[in-house]
Amino acid sequence: MAITPLLKVDNLSIGFDNDDGLVRVVEDVSFTLERGQTLSLVGESGCGKSLTAFALLQLLPPFGKILSGSVCLQGENLASMDEAQLQKIRGNRISMIFQEPMSALNPVFPVGVQVAEALILHKGMAKKAALKEAVGMLEKVGIPDPASRAVNYPHQLSGGMRQRVMIAIALACEPEILIADEPTTALDVTIQAQILDLMHDLQENLGTAILFISHDFGVVSRMADDIAVMYAGRVIEQGSSSDILLNPQHPYTQALLQTTPRIDASLDRLPAIAGRVPGPRRRPPGCCFAPRCSVAVDCCSKQRPERLALSKSHIAACHVLDSSKQEVSHAHG
């Protein structure tokens, strides 16, 4: 009997509906997430990583909608739930750490009250008990003198502390899944390392599954068990952390890894990927990366590549890989 995964996203497509008509922005994204596992969505800004995460909890902007596919939490399709059903899941079974805590935290309430709110709403705790628990959560995420900090407002805290408060809110109800959207982008390297260690420790203690969104392979290499690389709204390579980091096959993944700083490299300047991610209305008919790709062949600009299984755990969508695999099979035929 097959075990139902904790989260299963199947062929998820997202569109924006505006005055110019409907445009597809995310296409056919699929992945699974198990307890205690970290899956990282990686790619440049504009690739659709955050939008995919928002769609899981139906937090898309008013003009955005799920066009097709399913998002199943232990077999229940979140994409077909109404707002009342989703309210019971958001912040309770699935929590999210947003990219910018200053805009995600409410400026007019002390941070302790904001942590307590989740406990009152989802756990039915009395206000006094919830505030006491909130102080305990602030202590758990490494905030010094948590009782004093609990009565502070967000603007009275440093960026690192605000991010810790966001993590405390997200973990207050011990969620099964934590979505972390670029949680360390605005922090200096020392605080960044502390936040990543904190998330890892909490995951080990609670068994939480993490969907970790980032553009930085340096950060991802510390966190991820599995990696899905997104480009122009599609997953173009997916596999275990070692598959992607040690044996990248798609030219975009290879180019991204080359732009990541390395301690053992003696380059004066990091290489950059020429060009930029095409917007949803400017995507070419073939492979969206073809205009920026150094190994593109004729069919790349005309036909969308299909996903190709490179091993049990590793897939990539690339015409060049497909043709080389066919050449190998003909040679052995």
Query: CA–CA separation, 163 vs 161, rounded Å?
Result: 5
Closest by CA position to 166, among listed 199, 193, 190, 215? 199
Mean pLDDT across 199-222? 89
Token pair in block for residue 44: 């440049």
Same domain, 196 and 252: yes
Q: What percentage of the chain exceeds 90 in pLDDT?
A: 59
Question: Is 301 domain-assigned?
Answer: no
Q: Which of 142, 174, 206 corresponds to the end of one domain? A: 174
Same domain, 63 and 196: yes
Same domain, 252 and 118: no
Question: Is 317 domain-assigned?
Answer: no
Q: Which domain holds residue 121?
A: 105-174
pLDDT band at 194 (very low <50, low <70, confident <90, very high): confident
Instruction: Say if residue 90's pLDDT is above 70.
Output: yes
Q: What is the DSSP letter of 78?
A: G
Largest distance between two CA atoms of the chain = 73
Q: Where are the beta strands (DSSP E) in 245-313?
A: 307-309
Question: Is 24 domain-assigned?
Answer: yes
Same domain, 155 and 214: no
Instruction: Say if residue 329's pLDDT is above 50.
Output: no
Question: Is 138 domain-assigned?
Answer: yes
Query: CA–CA separation, 125 vs 190, rounded Å?
Result: 36
Closest by CA position to 196, among listed 165, 159, 228, 221? 221
Same domain, 189 and 161: no
Same domain, 271 and 185: yes
Same domain, 86 and 229: yes
pLDDT band at 262 (very low <50, low <70, confident <90, very high): low
Same domain, 44 and 56: yes
Instruction: Say if residue 333's pLDDT is above 70.
Output: no
Question: Is 326 domain-assigned?
Answer: no
> In this structure, are strands 94-97 and 76-77 parallel, antiparallel, or unpaired?
unpaired
Instruction: Say if residue 6's pLDDT is above 80.
Output: yes
Q: How many domains does the chain have?
A: 2
Show the CA angle centred on residue 229, arms to residues 202 and 325, nearest 5°. Answer: 130
Same domain, 76 and 124: no
Same domain, 186 and 197: yes
pLDDT band at 330 (very low <50, low <70, confident <90, very high): very low
| Interacting residues of 111 by C-beta distance below 8 A, sequence separation 6+ | 105, 138, 149, 150, 152, 153, 154, 157, 165
Question: Is 268 domain-assigned?
Answer: yes
Handedness of CA 243, 227, 208, 219 (dihedral sign): positive
CATH number at residue 57: 3.40.50.300
Q: Which of 174, 194, 221 corresponds to the end of one domain? A: 174
Instruction: Say if residue 280's pLDDT is above 70.
Output: yes
Contact predicate 267/256, CB 8 Å: no
Question: Is 306 domain-assigned?
Answer: no
Question: Is 310 domain-assigned?
Answer: no
Mean of all residue pLDDT scores within the chain: 88
Same domain, 158 and 181: no
Same domain, 78 and 55: yes
Q: Which of 285, 300, 321 corresponds to the end of one domain? A: 285
